[in-house]
Amino acid sequence: ADGAPRYGLIGQMVAQPGKRDELVGYLREATGAMPGCLSYQIALDAGNADAIWITEIWDSRESHQASLKIPAVRAAIAKARPIIAAMPMHVETVPVANI
Q: Please tell me whether residue 84 binds a copy of itself under the rule CB under 8 A.
A: no
Interaction of residue 70 with a copy of itself, rule CB under 8 A:
no
Determine contact, residues 36/63, Cβ cutoff 8 Å. yes
The reply to whether 96 sits near a copy of itself by the rule CB under 8 A is yes
Q: How far is the CB of 87 from a copy of itself (least distance, A)?
A: 15
Our finding on whether 40 is near a copy of itself (CB under 8 A) is: yes
CA-to-CA separations, 39 to 35, 42, 56, 75, 84, in angstroms, rounded: 11, 10, 6, 21, 22
SS3 71: helix
The least CB distance from residue 70 to a copy of itself, in Å, is 15
CB 46 within 8 A of CB 83: no
Residues that bind a copy of itself (CB under 8 A): 8, 10, 24, 27-28, 31, 37, 39-47, 53, 55, 57, 91-99
